[in-house]
Amino acid sequence: MTRVIIFERPGGEVTARNPSWGVDMNEGETEEEYLGRVAAKNLKGRIVAIVERSELPTYDALRDAWRASGNKVRVDIPVAREIVRKRRAEAGLPQRDTAIAVASSPTALLALLDK
């Protein structure tokens, strides 16, 4: 199984939970039943969806900018810009405010993390 349970926390952040497949799966339980039971036990927030892991953004450096959008997860670009600004400051890199402000994709913002 390669599916994850997506929760939306009170602040809007998203948590992707990888259930421990088969560890506590009941005999005869279907994948759907198992996922539903595991999701019901989790108290991290509102369940948004159960999706394939491959459907998640691949930008772990911007994970704090992940937001729920329907039953999908997307990168919130304004939040991602703030993450880039903060990490550049922490690394002692010059701020590139114009480049950060016009970056419109996660890929463009990631490129600014180390330049």
Report residue 32's pLDDT band, with 50, 70 and 90 as the boundaries: confident
Cα-to-chain-centroid distance, residue 82: 16
6, burial (CB in 10 Å: exposed 0-12, middle 13-18, buried 19+): buried
Whether residue 43 contacts residue 80, with contact meaning beta carbons closer than 8 Å, is answered with no
Question: pLDDT digits over 66-108, tens only?
Answer: 998 888 899 999 999 999 999 999 999 998 999 999 999 999 9
Please tell me the distance from the alpha carbon of residue 8 to that of residue 6, in angstroms, as a whole number: 7
Predicted TM-score (pTM) of this structure: 0.79
Whose tokens are 């560890």? That residue is: 23
Percentage with pLDDT > 70 across the chain? 91
Whether residue 14 contacts residue 68, with contact meaning beta carbons closer than 8 Å, is answered with yes
Coil, strand or helix at 2: coil
